[in-house]
Chain A
Amino acid sequence: MSAMTKEETEALIQEVLEIYPEKARKDRVKHLAVNDQSLEKSNKCITSNRKSLPGVMTIRGCAYAGSKGVVWGPIKDMIHISHGPVGCGQYSRAGRRNYYVGTTGVNTFGTMNFTSDFQEKVIVFGGDKKLAKAIDEIETLFPLNKGISIQSECPIGLIGDDIEAVAKVKKKEHGKTIVPVRCEGFRGVSQSLGHHIANDAIRDWVLENRDGDESFPITPYDVSVIGDYNIGGDAWASRTLLEEMGLRVVAQWSGDGTIAEIEKTPKVKLNLIHCYRSMNYIARHMEEKYHIPWIEYNFFGPTKIAESLRRIAAHFDQSIIDGAERVIARYEAEYNAVIEKYKPRLQGKRVMLYIGGLRPRHVIGAYEDLGMEVVGTGYEFGHNDDYDRTIKEMGNATLLYDDVTGYEFEEFVKKVQPDLVGSGVKEKYIFQKMGVPFRQMHSWDYSGPYHGYDGFAIFARDMDMTINNPCWKNIKAPWKTDAASEPVKAVA
């Protein structure tokens, strides 16, 4: 199927919406759009960050998922208590593959689940005592933790517990940073508000801990990597490039990060933002309070990497600018070999994406480097500033879908017939059973890293082995294919 025209895409949206009742259709039509590069602002064509409709299958998470799962969870030397019933923490434990270095259970706690395990009694009589006890037990059992964060689950807000008071008392008692985070799952429309709440908690309880303390030696080349969660080692693959060009990475937020790194961040010269959606809040705050400029960068695919390295280098002196060129030149042969190998196998393949808040636009460059085309993209929990940034990246007349429902996504894929779908685990088996090659783009399908030049090689290999896998030819039952009857005849 060749590229669709604007009219065809519009007709497709109308056709898919046909099945909804009038009221639902009116709401959903605002979230679906045909990309038009001439638009400056996305609010002319798409609505985002609105409550999902009851009755449709949304793929979104909750505020707790945004705070505990995304922002706080990867900070490895802190213990994050999932304060409330046991399920929220247990069923999301270690699911995001934020890699880290350390001895789990001794000085790092990333893949462990700590919970205050609320029972009926606690809901009735309040959970503050239980929380205090949990903190004391943690101090006894895991004395090497560097701090504790209290991640509220829904009941905390509903029964009105005062976790801030407990945190203050215990902070004094144990002399460690204890952060209450009001990220109850019912807040907001998606995990996006959880990111914001988590950023605000870092701002209020952690960031200024070392203000006025000049003991940390600084250099003019200090940067921090913000919004890289080290999925499958992403942050490491990014960090090496930055260090090679002569910068010093002081902090990683928050993949493989520590609380000490976060406290040192106000001393850096430039904040580098990878995931804009989840951490722009803290970058804006640091810009205002500490006058640290921030820039967004993109380490997916050689074109965008080179662009980003040069943009980062432009904030520093000539030695870093030369450093960036040196890094690009050094890896040139490597990534050209990757492109040479995989481009002929992937050329012209069409991709549809539906991911969280950053990758729907960031990975487009990597696909284009491999000669592929992204024909549809959408955010689970993006806001309009994300769509502003997406419009320029996407081709004209391609599909944009915000908070797409299970039904709409399936229908779009049936009609557009992409060669690859990139989305999360909940979508994976639906599309694989439909016979469409699928990559899980939240956790890199247990592969990775995909960031940086090293990651690009893995990315290209993964896309090739998914799309060109011989299994897709065997999806149809052999007696239902046209070619099947031929060899049978020959035998008879």
Chain B
Amino acid sequence: MPSVMLRKREDGKLLFYVAKKDLEETIESLEFDSPDKWGGEVVLGDGSKYFFEILDTPPRIPITLQAKRL
């Protein structure tokens, strides 16, 4: 369960950053991204997949969340 810091890049893409792994990747797709449901499976630029707990409202970016590696 790595701690993941999410932030917006200048071009508006979400960045997925894991400090301990020096992993900084763009998020290519997010399973749920609507005002009432946010989270689920994410696919990163390098093809790896992670899972966020599903939230009722989109979090305020930047934020640190726990993600599960799939």
Contact = CB atoms under 8 A, between A and B. Distances in A.
Interface of A: 40-41, 43, 49, 196, 281, 284, 287-288, 291, 383-385, 388
B30 to A, nearest CB: 19
A384 B22 contact: yes
A385 B64 contact: no
Nearest to B7: A287
Which of the listed residues B17, B19, B22, B24 has the most CB atoms from chain A within 10 Å of its own CB?
B22
25 contacts: A40-B45, A41-B45, A41-B46, A43-B46, A49-B22, A196-B19, A281-B19, A284-B5, A284-B7, A284-B17, A284-B19, A284-B62, A287-B7, A287-B62, A288-B5, A288-B7, A288-B62, A288-B63, A288-B64, A291-B62, A383-B22, A384-B22, A385-B22, A385-B24, A388-B24
A54 to B, nearest CB: 23
Contacts of B24: 385, 388
B64 to A, nearest CB: 6
Nearest to B64: A288
A474 to B, nearest CB: 46
Nearest to B26: A40
Nearest to A387: B22
Interface string B4-35: 01010000000001010010100000000000
Contacts of B19: 196, 281, 284
Nearest to B24: A385
B7 to A, nearest CB: 6
Contacts of A291: 62
Contacts of B5: 284, 288
Contacts of B63: 288
Chain B contact-residue range equals 10 to 19
Contacts of A49: 22
Contacts of A41: 45-46
A301 B7 CA distance: 30
A278 to B, nearest CB: 14
Contacts of B62: 284, 287-288, 291
Nearest to A40: B45
Q: 6 closest Cβ contacts across the A-B interface?
A: A383-B22, A288-B62, A384-B22, A287-B62, A385-B24, A385-B22
Nearest to A288: B62
Contacts of A287: 7, 62
A281 B22 CA distance: 11
A287 B60 CA distance: 11
Nearest to B60: A291
A384 B25 CA distance: 11
B16 to A, nearest CB: 12
Nearest to B63: A288
A284 B62 CA distance: 9
Contacts of A284: 5, 7, 17, 19, 62
B20 to A, nearest CB: 10
Contacts of B17: 284
B19 to A, nearest CB: 7
A284 B46 CA distance: 22
Contacts of B7: 284, 287-288
Interface string B34-48: 000000000001100
B39 to A, nearest CB: 18
A41 B45 CA distance: 10
A238 B63 CA distance: 31
A281 B5 CA distance: 11
A167 to B, nearest CB: 25
A388 B64 CA distance: 23
B52 to A, nearest CB: 16
A194 B64 CA distance: 22
Nearest to A294: B7
A40 B22 CA distance: 15
Which of the listed residues A288, A291, A383 has the most CB atoms from chain B within 10 Å of its own CB?
A288
A385 B5 CA distance: 15
